[in-house]
Amino acid sequence: MNEFKHIFPLGEKNDANARYFIEQSYLAPLTFEGIPFFNVTFEPGCRNNWHIHHKGGQIFFCTAGTGWY
């Protein structure tokens, strides 16, 4: 994961949401003020099993690497 410059912190292992991922992801809260904003980092090969956030939506910003949807 060191081939890209990370502009956000890596965070901790995302074990609380592990059921939504295949392989390892990491979660770093950036702010809880206004709209909560988190950085999620995916290890190579990690897959996200899309899930619904009933209290709001999700917006993804890809800052490095390649993602498929």
pLDDT at 1 exceeding the cut of 60: no
pLDDT in tens, 9-50: 889 999 998 998 999 999 999 999 988 888 988 888 888 887
Distance CA 26, CA 16 (A): 10
pLDDT at 3 exceeding the cut of 70: no
How far, in Å, are 8, 34, 67 from residue 19 at the CA level?
24, 27, 19
pLDDT value at residue 2: 53
Q: Comparing 2 with 54, which gets the higher pLDDT?
A: 54
